[in-house]
């Protein structure tokens, strides 16, 4: 089993589904944001408060480079990891990149009460998520080897579906 890297927008289920999926695939689960939080000793939102988005992106880049070299892992990235061209290259070269594609209305519902994601704390969340999708969808598409829809199924079912599709993809001999 190659390394698996989950990409996709906030609320696509990278962290939640990733944990179940890693277990099904016999891989160690690592969440990029959680790894950064452990190393810094503060939450992502605090890093944004103190160092700004730019500071967070620098930490994210360094941690992504480190963790994408680990073997037998499933890495759940953060939604903005693909903004950086070097990150996209590292992800594509070092493992199988899976885009959990999700509709904005599903993201809104799942993240209704969220206060931890700095880029979501806007007066109009729908407008914000639509704009991020417009900006980022081409980058997710460029980076992904495999696209899996993550709408209308709960995380355990989503993990089962993703496992099936990943195994089918690998059986075709694709990277
Ligand atoms: N397929 C799903 N169906 C319903 N709720 C989900 C699904 N995936 C994630 N969630 C919920 O949405 C919220 C955000 O999920 P999370 O895994 O943190 O997304 P991400 O890491 O992609 O931002 C969590 O409360 C999670 O339980
Ligand atoms: O989309 C983004 O730019 C971000 C997504 C978050 O991760 P999730 O995608 O796991 O929510 C987290 O990395 C940070 O708040 C920035
Ligand atoms: Mg996450």
Its ipTM equals 0.98
Tell whether 43 is covered by a domain: yes
* Dist. CA 78 → ligand 2 center (Å): 4
pLDDT at 175 (0 to 100) = 64
Whichever domain contains 120, its CATH number is: 3.40.50.300
The answer to whether position 165 is within a domain reads no
Q: Residue 74: which of 93, 92, 96, 44 has the closest Cα?
A: 96
pLDDT tens digits, one per residue of 6-59: 999 999 999 999 999 999 999 999 999 999 999 999 999 999 999 999 999 999
Residue 94 has pLDDT above 80, yes or no: yes
Predicted TM-score (pTM) of the model is 0.98
| Residue 70 belongs to a domain | yes
Is residue 174 one of the residues assigned to a domain?
A: no
What pLDDT, on the 0 to 100 scale, is given for residue 173?
82
Q: Is residue 109 in a domain?
A: yes
Distance of CA 7 from the midpoint of ligand 2 (Å): 10
Q: Quick check: is 175 in a domain?
A: no
Asked if residue 172 is part of any domain, the answer here is no
C-alpha radius of gyration, the chain, whole number: 15
Whether the CB of 11 sits within 6 Å of ligand 1: yes
Q: What phi-psi label fits residue 84: left (phi over 0), alpha (psi between -120 and 50 degrees) or beta?
A: beta
Residue 101 is labelled as binding a ligand: no
Write out the residue range of the structural domain in which residue 58 sits.
4-159
- Binned at pLDDT 50, 70 and 90, residue 151 comes out as confident
Which is the closest atom of ligand 1 to the Cα of 153?
Answer: 1
Domain count, the chain: 1
Say whether pLDDT at 137 is over 70: yes
Asked if residue 166 is part of any domain, the answer here is: no
């Amino acid at each position: 089993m190659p390394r698996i890297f989950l990409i996709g927008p906030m609320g696509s289920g990278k962290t939640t589904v990733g944990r179940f999926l890693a277990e099904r695939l016999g891989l160690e689960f690592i969440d990029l944001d959680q790894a950064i939080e452990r190393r810094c000793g503060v939450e992502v939102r605090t890093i944004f408060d103190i160092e700004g988005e730019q500071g967070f992106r620098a930490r994210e880049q360094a941690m992504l480079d480190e963790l994408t070299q680990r073997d037998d892992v499933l890495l759940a990235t953060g939604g903005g990891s693909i903004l950086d061209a070097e990150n996209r290259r590292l992800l594509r070269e070092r493992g199988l990149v899976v885009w959990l594609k999700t509709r904005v209305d599903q993201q809104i519902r799942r993240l209704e009460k969220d206060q931890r994601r700095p880029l979501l704390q806007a007066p109009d969340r729908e407008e914000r998520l639509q704009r991020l999708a417009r900006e980022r969808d081409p980058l997710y598409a460029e980076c992904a080897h495999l696209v899996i829809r993550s709408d209308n199924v709960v995380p355990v079912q989503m993990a089962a579906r993703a496992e099936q599709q990943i195994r089918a993809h690998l059986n075709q001999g694709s990277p």
